[in-house]
Chain A
Amino acid sequence: MLKLDKISKIYKTGTFGGKMLPAVVDVSFDVGDGEIVSLIGESGSGKSTIGKMILSLINITSGKIIFNGVDVSTLKKGILKNYYRNVQGVFQDPFSSYNPIFKADRIFRTIRQEFFPKMKESEWNEKVNRSLRDVGLNPDQVLNKFPHQLSGGQLQRFLIARALLLDIQFLVADEIISMLDASTRVDVLNLLVDLKSRGLSILFITHDLNLGYYISEKAVILYRGCVVEMGVTDKIYYNPLHPYTEMLMASVPRMDKKWEEVEMELKARQIETTVGCVYYERCCAANKDKECARNRPQLIEVERDHFVACSRCMEE
């Protein structure tokens, strides 16, 4: 559905824009139909920048974003509006997404003015109510209120409901639950899963690996604008291979193991690889999936006065 092809973003910084700051470097991945992909990284890793580029809020320095066969970066005003019928974003801070002077449902009204100017009032109200019920809110309780009268979880769902009004196919969810309380957080997560089962694709941007694992099939780990590891979530979680991913996994505060235990395990794993053949890493003949990694081969005499320590020779 959505394909990123070697996209880069370089910000110009400094007084006269003389310095270059590469925020995203040659990132490629794709999101299929009805798939949730987690984009995981620390602050400054460029994950939000990728989200903004997909939403066409900022320009792409190089590379292409292809949505259903169309290159997004070439879209101009009128066609871009059509693009927004399909792709919408929800952002981190629900409190600052609203104008505190107006009632919260103004966000629905602006959608109607822009996208559905010809729709009848009653038809529209029905649509809004249906959308609100979809995100688990009771329309009577939440409509006609000011942002400060609603809780963070309710406001965040409002924003999701707003995106759903457009029958979107793709949602960019940028840290949408990091500001919410533990008890409401899970409800919003489950809501995303429900939406997914209805065929919506989601790019779930987060720095919390636990949440990423809970919700997504695919994960992309980002460091300083580069993809360091990506793949099926289970594989990345149970077998992280890049040292950065390992470090991230070790620093996640867990409820079952303390940090010291996790560090011990990591060390044990490193020792595990060092018990194998010392030449294992660079050996092209190594039997990669068995013996060589686990057992350090003994020095044996293959012929008179000729000693070798390699499992290939031990078999013979």
Chain B
Amino acid sequence: MSLQIKNLRVYYQTLRGDVKALDGVTFNIKDGEIMGLAGESGCGKTTLGHGLIRLYPPMRFVEGSVELDNEELPVWDMNRMNKYRFCKISIIPQYAMNAMNPTRKIGKMTSELLDSRKVNYKKTLPELKRRLDLVKLTQDVLNMYPIELSGGMKQRMVLVLSTLMDPSLLIADEITSALDVSTQKAVAEMLVEFRNRKIVKSMIVITHDISILYQIADSILVMYAGKLAEKASTGIIVHSPRHPYTKLLISSLPKVGVKYSEKKLLGIKGNTPLLLNPPIGCRFIDRCPVAFGKCVEEPPFIEIEKDHFVACWKEYGKNA
């Protein structure tokens, strides 16, 4: 097991109380697994990503444990995490394309970044150039300013930067959402390539676009309102999901060759609950078409088949 997360809770502190953005999350990622993390905006995907690497105010660590390669990560301690950040666990944040320092040439910026981790830039340079070739960027980019690169090029540059120290876990947060289809495909395939070459051991790919995950991910974890809804291998999530939310989400996606005149797609009625005072019990209860009496209790996240976890009262009965 590369990553083991147990009962992780991260809240946002506000004047009106805690916003429970990540409320008791437990799952594992195997070595070499690319796990997709899907869900609507505000379901806690990004909070989970950041929670594993850098908790900044108003984020507050409540409880839980994170183990990476059998070593416990002190996620609640800003300073002690420094040792792991970038070296063992790395993140490509959302809008990473705009994260590069606009006043530095990219080579200079990289050398400053490596200096801060006490790594020699000159010695790393040959490897850096090899990586640039791998993502099909010319070595000239090191002498360019970020403004001279296109969106897809910046995204690939950030990918190279984040993985330069061969981290064990890479968190990629919405890295394809601002790109158009052909660039999207190129970047997504590069993620897989990095895993196949063992530059990165395992990955969490955060996106709201399940069709991208279907292309590259080994397994998909679906979140809803700060809780886990379902985790299974990609094929099962897409073709035979069990949780009602996953079912509705998958069926609402427009597919190639579906026309409104032949098959009208339906969205999911209602809105996601506010996480300041989330409903007790299953958080999907208000929008769920199959909710029944038992749903006022909180459903546990249980393995109903091998590697298939679901949090829904309706689904346990069939296997129990």
Q: Do A and B bind each other?
A: yes
Q: Which of B179, B211, B265 is in CB contact (< 8 Å) with A189?
A: B265
B209 in the interface, Cβ–Cβ < 8 Å?
yes
A72 CA to B90 CA in the complex, in Å? 53
Question: Chain B residues with Cβ under 8 A from A209's Cβ?
Answer: 181, 256
Binding site of B, secondary structure by majority: helix, strand, loop or mixed?
A: loop
Q: Which of A183, A211, A253 is in CB contact (< 8 Å) with B252?
A: A183
Q: What mask results when residues 251 to 278 of chain B are scored 1 for a CB within 8 Å of chain A, else 0?
A: 0111111111000111110010000000
Question: Contact: B249 with A43, CB < 8 Å?
Answer: no
A187 in the interface, Cβ–Cβ < 8 Å?
yes
Hey, which bits of chain B sit against chain A, CB under 8 A?
A: 40-41, 151, 179-185, 188-189, 208-212, 214-215, 238, 248-250, 252-260, 264-268, 271
Q: A96 to nearest B CB, angstroms?
A: 14
Q: Give A192's nearest chain B residue, CB to CB.
A: B260
A80 in the interface, Cβ–Cβ < 8 Å?
no
Question: Contact: B184 with A251, CB < 8 Å?
Answer: yes
Question: Contact: B257 with A182, CB < 8 Å?
Answer: no
Q: Give A257's nearest chain B residue, CB to CB.
A: B256
Question: Chain B residues with Cβ under 8 A from A62's Cβ?
Answer: none
Question: Chain A residues with Cβ under 8 A from B267's Cβ?
Answer: 183-187, 190
Q: Given A182-B253, A186-B267, A193-B260: A253 and B41 within 8 A (CB)? A: no
Question: Chain A residues with Cβ under 8 A from B257's Cβ?
Answer: 213, 237
Question: Contact: A213 with B181, CB < 8 Å?
Answer: no
A259 in the interface, Cβ–Cβ < 8 Å?
yes
Question: Contact: B211 with A254, CB < 8 Å?
Answer: yes
Question: Contact: B40 with A214, CB < 8 Å?
Answer: no
Q: Give A247's nearest chain B residue, CB to CB.
A: B182
Q: Which of B40, B180, B211 is in CB contact (< 8 Å) with A255?
A: B211
Question: Contact: B210 with A182, CB < 8 Å?
Answer: yes
Q: What mask results when residues 229 to 247 of chain A are scored 1 for a CB within 8 Å of chain B, else 0?
A: 0000100010000000001
Question: Contact: B215 with A258, CB < 8 Å?
Answer: yes
A259 CA to B189 CA in the complex, in Å? 10
Question: Contact: A189 with B254, CB < 8 Å?
Answer: yes
Question: Contact: B265 with A251, CB < 8 Å?
Answer: no
A288 CA to B212 CA in the complex, in Å? 38
Question: Contact: B265 with A186, CB < 8 Å?
Answer: yes
Question: Chain A residues with Cβ under 8 A from B151's Cβ?
Answer: 43
Q: Give A210's nearest chain B residue, CB to CB.
A: B254
Q: B219 to nearest A CB, angstroms?
A: 15
Question: Contact: A255 with B260, CB < 8 Å?
Answer: no
Q: Which of B40, B185, B208, B268 is in CB contact (< 8 Å) with A253?
A: B185
Q: A155 to nearest B CB, angstroms?
A: 13
Question: Chain A residues with Cβ under 8 A from B260's Cβ?
Answer: 189-190, 193, 214-215
A258 CA to B180 CA in the complex, in Å? 18
Question: Contact: A42 with B180, CB < 8 Å?
Answer: yes
Question: Chain B residues with Cβ under 8 A from A42's Cβ?
Answer: 180-183
Question: Contact: A255 with B238, CB < 8 Å?
Answer: yes
User: 5 closest Cβ contacts across the A-B interface?
Assistant: A253-B211, A183-B268, A42-B180, A187-B267, A251-B185
Question: Contact: B256 with A254, CB < 8 Å?
Answer: yes
Q: A269 to nearest B CB, angstroms?
A: 16
Give the contacts of A133-172 with B (CB-CB under 8 A).
151-152
Question: Contact: A253 with B184, CB < 8 Å?
Answer: yes
Question: Contact: A214 with B259, CB < 8 Å?
Answer: yes
A248 in the interface, Cβ–Cβ < 8 Å?
yes
Question: Contact: A207 with B181, CB < 8 Å?
Answer: yes
A255 CA to B264 CA in the complex, in Å? 17
Question: Contact: A185 with B252, CB < 8 Å?
Answer: yes
A253 CA to B190 CA in the complex, in Å? 15
Question: Contact: B210 with A213, CB < 8 Å?
Answer: no
A181 in the interface, Cβ–Cβ < 8 Å?
yes
Q: A207 to nearest B CB, angstroms?
A: 5
Question: Chain A residues with Cβ under 8 A from B180's Cβ?
Answer: 42-43, 207
A252 CA to B254 CA in the complex, in Å? 12
Q: A122 to nearest B CB, angstroms?
A: 30
Question: Contact: A248 with B181, CB < 8 Å?
Answer: yes
Q: A189 to nearest B CB, angstroms?
A: 7
A90 CA to B266 CA in the complex, in Å? 22
Q: A239 to nearest B CB, angstroms?
A: 13
